[in-house]
Amino acid sequence: MIQRLTDALGADSVLHAPEDLAVYRFDGYATGATPGVVVLPRTTRDICAVMKVAKEFGVPVVARGAGTGLCGGATPGLGAIVVSFARMNRILELDIARRRVRVQPGVVNLDLSTDVARHRLFYAPDPASQRSCTIGGNIGTNAGGPHCLAYGTTTSHVLGLEVVDEHGEVFTTHIDDIGYDLTGALVGGEGTLGMVSSAWLRLTRMPQSVRVWLVAFGDIDSASETVSAILAAGIVPTALEMMDATIISAVEAVYHAGYPTDAAAVLLIESAGFEEDMERCQTDIARIARDHGALSWHAASSQRERDALWLGRKSAAGAIGSMTPNYYIQDVTVPRTKLPHALRAVEEAVRANGLRVGNVFHAGDGNLHPLIMYDKRNAYEVAAVVEAGTQILTTAIALGGTISGEHGIGSEKRETLGLVYSSDDLDPMLRLRDVFNASGLLNPEKIFPSGARCAEVR
Amino acid sequence: MPDRKRSRVAPTTITMLQEAVISARDHSYALCIRGAGTLDGMGGRVTADLDIHMTHLKGIAAFEPGDLTIGTFAGTTLAELTAVLREHRLMAVLDAPHPQQATIGGTLAGGWLGPRRHRFGRPRDAVIGTTVVMADGRIASSGGMVVKNVTGYDLSKLYIGSFGTLGILARVNFKVQPIPARIRAISARLPEHTRERVIERMQGLSGQISAALLIDGFHREIDGEDGSDGRLVVLLETSEILLEQATRDTRGALGQAGVPEATIVDLGPMDHLQRIIDAGVATIGERSITYRVLGDADDHERRSSQLSADLSRTGLRMERIVDACNGDLFVRLSDRDSRSFAGKLADCDEIVHQHFPRAIVVACTSPIRDQLTIWGEHPAAIEKMHLLKSAFDPDHRLNPGRFLEATTNG
Ligand SMILES: Cc1cc2nc3c(=O)[nH]c(=O)nc-3n(C[C@H](O)[C@H](O)[C@H](O)COP(=O)(O)OP(=O)(O)OC[C@H]3O[C@@H](n4cnc5c(N)ncnc54)[C@H](O)[C@@H]3O)c2cc1C
């Protein structure tokens, strides 16, 4: 098989030395098995060739972007072919007038925005990992990010896809196609429905004016009630992020972002739009924050200060890493009015299991990310983190929420998918999977609980 | 082929709907799923044994204004949805024809796309969860009542635009947004040779305006009287403070495009927009046909002029609506009497598709409609769509004939 892949792609695009393979076992969450081979395609044709070889030999194929995923989506099973898109990192076509761009899947998220900035455009979905994660991975997970509150997640920015299917054939989709919205169904497919070989994306105009505020609170409840109140007042900022005291002190220790270390929680709020609207927006948000007992209010006065505030937020997970040997990021969404309740429940679940938690999350979307600190070498703590994580999932569901807001199901949550969906709910999902992945070779053992098969009809 | 004799049911709950589907399954009945019929001009004629009327499965299933989400049963009308949301100064932007009758399920299944989507998003982006009754009678939900959700595949996307051929939408959950403080329409007559420049200018302003529609014809439907051709209607939705600025910007842009005068319409601007949307599917007896093309407005402008020239030999009258912000084009062709129209229809259909291969029919009541290329050129991934259809509805019992099928039975 390796020979066949080498014939098709060239020796420099096929890795099979054990030391080369080892790094492809991981993503940001889990460790998989050692793959049999890693291929680095340069073109759509290369991907087709790989799929054909995979099919011929009956070997599973795992698509891989930057491997920053947090649900064990890109981790391979033993002997699998990992397809890394690292070399497919070109912007193929840029249509400035119509504000759209066609890119290869390996383009790094932030690189795209940086590249089109000269046209006063940007690519809106901005995961905190945007300095390394790829468009292919973002499409695979339907990634979100702080600014998705106003702009929507990845799925709202993908206009069309070129996909290599399980047989090694190419097909294309577009959201304007008549009939079934395959584009929408494929986004979030976690590599189980095909390999995205290029994508048409929507670009967004840079707003005329951007304001960033940092608001401090003496307790978490006040901060989360402020979030609900802002949205209830009909104000939708472009970002509405929350960090608790644990995160604030971790970030300050490492990045000196200028967060108040005496606060129990801060909200990082960004509004963007027309200059004239921003004053009013600021007044309204400040009033709501004051009514909810805000301790302090700080408006960033320069681009540099805005960047510093954002850098703190986007580096929070890294900063926590300096406080604990290991941490686990949970990802759940609840209806926004349930935020105060959800945060209390998270705190209780973690504390009851004898662990500590930091919260940094997309509060405006109700998307929680408790970072639970533990030590992998301590068996008790490992069990405790699993238990706390599961309790958070059940709490989110009980509050009318769900078990993943943006990270995906992957291998991590597949066995808990049944907490949200009945077997009847899962049935059409499995039918969709079986249409695009009848061979089962595309990223097997992901998303669906083990043993979940398309039940016979009738 | 004449329709087989049909019976009908009108379920009021999802369980009743499920019972109807199960009983139909047991009798091997083909089903025709009916909303209010406002988009009957799209798609093929359904050959079925049982009509399922969805208009009684209605009401609000869940609504917490502070969450900015709402759950609705699929037979709820768009007007009912709008009214409930408006009490809390919220909106879901669907912008479909005849909101007093149109059901949420029918509008979504028909994949309707409205003029304000470039600003407020497509219906597909607002739908956060669906509950569907499948062909085998299973009730299957996906998504939920939260605005961010990657738990399993996003099946809701598939049902939107599926013309009821994959499953029957029973409940739909939306994320909603605040209604802008001020709404204003600006209308103008377009002097000769200004259209291309107007389109370009309006596209430049598309961050500020929510719709810009260039209209030729459709006088009865939109203005209630005959008038001159070449009108523009721009919709502004802004904060209190920005309204006058946006008005000045729009007028300025129009002036630069060679349009000297523009009138402010503050009375019922949304009604005005609604009449234009309704016009998109309006027929003139059995002697008109309306096509819709999605794509690029500037390109459409050129190509529709060529189309007009090519059609002149047929003697058909051409009316059109160009959506400058989204690039949609609606073209209505009509004749003086239905018999002569029927004689020209096949020819005209061919000419339209020469210029716009992807044009689809959105309105036509002529008896010979079924012989036309109502779906235009097939989408590139049609084979995948066929596979999906067979997987979701193996016996092809949901709306047979409505959407492109691999094997035509009729
Ligand atoms: C510090 C940190 C912060 C993060 N913040 C966020 C955040 O704010 N929001 C958020 O949503 N996520 C966040 N993440 C998670 C992660 O970055 C995202 O899930 C991202 O989309 C993964 O991109 P990737 O290129 O690393 O993909 P990978 O991890 O390599 O792959 C992700 C999934 O996509 C599939 N895939 C990859 N490429 C393709 C392709 N071409 N075709 C088909 N399938 C493909 C893979 O098989 C896998 O299932 C964060 C992660 C870290 C480490």
**CATH code (residue B268):** 3.30.70
Residue type, A409: I
Residues A188-235 pLDDT 10s? 999 999 999 999 999 999 999 999 999 999 999 999 999 999 998 989
What pLDDT sits at residue A456? Answer: 34
A153 CA distance to ligand 1 middle (Å): 13
B277 domain residue, yes or no: no
Q: Which whole number is the average pLDDT over A104-118? A: 98
What pLDDT sits at residue B407? Answer: 55
Nearest residue of chain A to residue B295 (CA atoms): A176
Helices B195-204 + B243-256 axis angle, to 10: 150
DSSP symbols for A368-379: E-EEEEE-TT-H
Question: How many whole angstroms separate alpha carbon B394 and alpha carbon B258?
Answer: 57
What number of H helices and E strands is found in chain B? 13, 18
Ligand 1 nearest atom to the CA of residue A197, by list position: 41
B16 and B141 in a common domain: yes
Residues A171-181 pLDDT 10s? 999 999 999 99
Residues of B in contact with A416 (CB under 8 A): none
User: Which run of H or of E encompasses B220?
Assistant: helix B219-222
B12 domain residue, yes or no: yes
B111 and B32 in a common domain: yes
Residues of B in contact with A235 (CB under 8 A): 178
B283 domain residue, yes or no: no
What pLDDT sits at residue B298? Answer: 77
B292 and B265 in a common domain: no
Question: How many whole angstroms separate alpha carbon A319 and alpha carbon A77?
Answer: 31
Residues of A in contact with B208 (CB under 8 A): 274
Of the candidates A352, A349, A354, which has an alpha carbon nearest to the alpha carbon of residue A389? A349
Question: How many whole angstroms separate alpha carbon B170 and alpha carbon B175?
Answer: 17
Residues A407-416 pLDDT 10s? 999 999 999 9
B143 and B2 in a common domain: yes
Query: Angle at CA A222, nearest 5°, toward B92 and A389?
Result: 80
Q: Which whole number is the average pLDDT over A278-291? A: 95
Q: Which residue has the tokens 């709020």?
A: A269
B121 and B27 in a common domain: yes
**Token pair in block for residue B281:** 């599917």
What pLDDT sits at residue B225? Answer: 73
Chain B nearest CA to A390, separation (Å): 15
Chain A contact present for B155, CB below 8 A: yes
Chain A contact present for B392, CB below 8 A: yes
B135 domain residue, yes or no: yes
Residues A136-161 pLDDT 10s? 999 999 999 999 999 999 999 999 99
B387 and B305 in a common domain: no
B230 and B204 in a common domain: yes
Ligand 1 nearest atom to the CA of residue A154, by list position: 11
Give SS3 for A71.
coil
Chain B nearest CA to A208, separation (Å): 10
Which residue is closest in CA terms to ligand 1's atom 46? Answer: A74
**Whether the Cβ atoms of residue A351 and residue A134 lie closer than 8 Å to each other:** no
Chain B nearest CA to A306, separation (Å): 24
B66 and B10 in a common domain: yes
Ligand 1 nearest atom to the CA of residue A408, by list position: 19
pLDDT at A358 over 60: yes
State in Å, rounded, how far the first CA of chain A is from the last one.
Answer: 41
**For every one of its 410 residues, what pLDDT tens digit does chain B have, with 9 covering 90 and above?**
345 567 999 999 999 999 999 999 999 999 999 999 999 999 999 999 999 999 999 999 999 999 999 999 999 999 999 999 999 999 999 999 999 999 999 999 999 999 999 999 999 999 999 999 999 999 999 999 999 999 999 999 999 999 999 999 999 999 999 999 999 999 999 998 999 999 999 999 977 899 999 999 999 999 877 766 789 999 999 999 999 999 999 999 999 999 999 999 888 999 999 999 999 999 999 999 999 999 887 788 888 889 999 999 899 999 999 999 999 999 999 999 999 999 999 999 999 999 999 999 999 998 888 889 999 999 999 999 999 999 999 999 999 999 988 754 43
B343 and B239 in a common domain: no
B278 domain residue, yes or no: no
Sequence-ordered list of residues with C-beta below 8 angstroms from that of A296, at least 6 positions apart, any chain: A215, A216, A260, A263
pTM, rounded to two decimals: 0.97
Helices B382-392 + A423-436 axis angle, to 10: 150
Q: Domains of chain A (ranges plus CATH)? A: 2-84 (3.30.43.10), 91-205 (3.30.465.10), 209-317 (3.30.70.3450), 324-398 (3.30.70.2740)
Q: Which residue has the tokens 């107007």?
A: B198
pLDDT at A443 over 90: yes
Given B241, B272, B303, which residue is the final one in a domain?
Answer: B272
Q: Which whole number is the average pLDDT over A128-140? A: 97
B47 domain residue, yes or no: yes
pLDDT level of residue A454 (50, 70, 90 thresholds): very low
Which residues share a beta bridge with A101? Answer: A94, A201
Q: Which of A64, A314, A365, A447 to mutate to test the pocket of ligand 1 (most atoms within 8 A of CB)?
A: A64
Identify the domain containing residue B198 by its residue range.
Answer: 190-272
B210 and B147 in a common domain: no
DSSP conformation class of B281: T
Residues A20-62 pLDDT 10s? 999 999 999 989 999 999 999 999 999 999 999 999 999 999 9
For residue B397, the domain's CATH number is 3.30.465.10
Domain total in chain B: 3
pLDDT at A100 over 80: yes
B141 CA distance to ligand 1 middle (Å): 26
B118 domain residue, yes or no: yes
B280 domain residue, yes or no: no
DSSP conformation class of B290: E
Question: How many whole angstroms separate alpha carbon B150 and alpha carbon A362?
Answer: 15
Residues B364-379 pLDDT 10s? 998 888 889 999 999 9
Q: Which residue has the tokens 């971790």?
A: A250
What pLDDT sits at residue B5? Answer: 65
What pLDDT sits at residue B409? Answer: 40
What pLDDT sits at residue B6? Answer: 79
Q: How many residues does chain B have?
A: 410
Residue B335 phi/psi, 5-degree rounding, is -135, 170
Give SS3 for B332.
strand
Ligand 1, residues at Cβ distance < 6 Å: A 27-28, 62-70, 73-74, 85, 105, 127-129, 133-134, 136-138, 140-141, 143-145, 190-191, 195-196, 317, 406-407, 443
B100 and B138 in a common domain: yes
What pLDDT sits at residue B4? Answer: 53
B59 and B165 in a common domain: yes
